A = this chain, B = another copy of it.
Amino acid sequence: MKIKKKIQQARTLMDALPYIRKFNKKTVVIKYGGSAQADPALKEKFAQDIVLLYLVGIKPVIIHGGGKKISNLLDKLEFKSEFVDGLRVTSQSVMEVVEMVLGGNINKEITNLLNYHGAKAIGITGKDASFIEAKALDEGKYGLVGDITKIDHKVVEDLIAQDFIPVIAPIASGGTNHPGFNINADLAASKVAVALRAEKIIFLTDTPGLLDSDAKLISTLEKEEILELKNSGVISGGMIPKTDACFNALEEGVGSAHIIDGRVEHSILLELFTKDGIGTKIK
């Protein structure tokens, strides 16, 4: 019967109540990347998740990456890339491409998507009001790859206070007449979360979370255990910067850090609004 199904729906809604209550008016920083940012269907779900958080009184802040699109455009433009330590050295012309793709294309695409699901999103980069400042990483070894030196949290807080959802591209201001810096999105997310004294930071990845040596999902982890897992090689490769970013955020006062599977639809809701979440929670 129809009414019974409706009641069942209402009960499901009610299961979310304790979480809605718990995170009310709290800031949650979300590093958006991977498949969740590439697959059209997942993009829709992501936007729905964020707008739901926004409407139930949570304060989401999005920081996105943009790897593949940058490479694509660089290729089309036939830029030759030099690599050092496995990192592409960012020349001034590469930086221009990075900025166009991150700030002009991806950033506004996400912003637009959120707005059309009912949010009031604003897309910014660290150059806006110069709110993220950086210097060259390792004295310029990688060109315009930057190391964040300062975040002006008031700029972001003012936007949140006016009910905007800030969508942030990982670009930093480098000073007068400087083309700016390309910064690692994971670390940027971590530092923004710290600056905003966020309740949570969530990393959307293309893995189920942190896996132990038997490739089984680690549901919860103390931040101290990260070091051991790195030493033992369980954490490796692309997961290293993410866990470093988690560690840094937790060290500086963020409530908890989450590495979740962006390939699962509504993964953010599942992490925030269900009892065990779906990925790895680091405390």
What residues make up the interface of A, taking CB atoms closer than 8 Å to B?
3, 6-7, 9-17, 20-21, 24, 48-49, 51-52, 55-57, 76-77, 96, 99-105, 107-108, 111-113, 115-118, 120-125, 127-130, 155, 158, 162, 164, 171, 173, 175-178, 180, 264-266, 269-270, 273-274, 278
Contacts and interface: CB of A to CB of B under 8 A. Distances in A.
Contacts of A12: 9, 12-13
B103 A99 contact: no
Contacts of A115: 127, 129-130, 173
Contacts of A120: 129, 155
A14 B105 contact: no
Interface of A: prevailing SS: helix
Nearest to A268: B10
A24 B51 CA distance: 12
A21 B176 contact: no
Contacts of A180: 108, 112
B123 A127 contact: yes
A108 B172 CA distance: 11
A123 B116 contact: no
A108 B112 contact: no
Contact of A57 (B9, B51, B57, B107): B57
Nearest to A274: B6
A108 B99 contact: yes
Given A270-B6, A273-B10, A108 B121 contact: no
Given A102-B104, A158-B162, A266-B7, A55 B55 contact: no
Nearest to A106: B104
Nearest to A11: B266
Give the 8 A-B CB pairs with smallest separation, nearest first.
A104-B104, A10-B266, A100-B104, A100-B100, A103-B104, A12-B12, A116-B176, A21-B118
Nearest to A176: B116
Given A20-B55, A21-B118, A76-B77, A127 B99 contact: no
B21 A55 contact: yes
A52 B117 CA distance: 21
Contacts of A55: 17, 20-21, 24, 56-57
A55 B167 CA distance: 24
11 contacts: A3-B270, A7-B270, A12-B13, A13-B13, A13-B269, A56-B57, A100-B101, A103-B103, A108-B125, A115-B130, A116-B177
Q: Which of A121, A128, A278 has the most CB of B within 10 A?
A: A128
B111 A100 contact: no
A24 B164 CA distance: 15
Given A14-B48, A48-B14, A104-B100, A111 B128 contact: yes
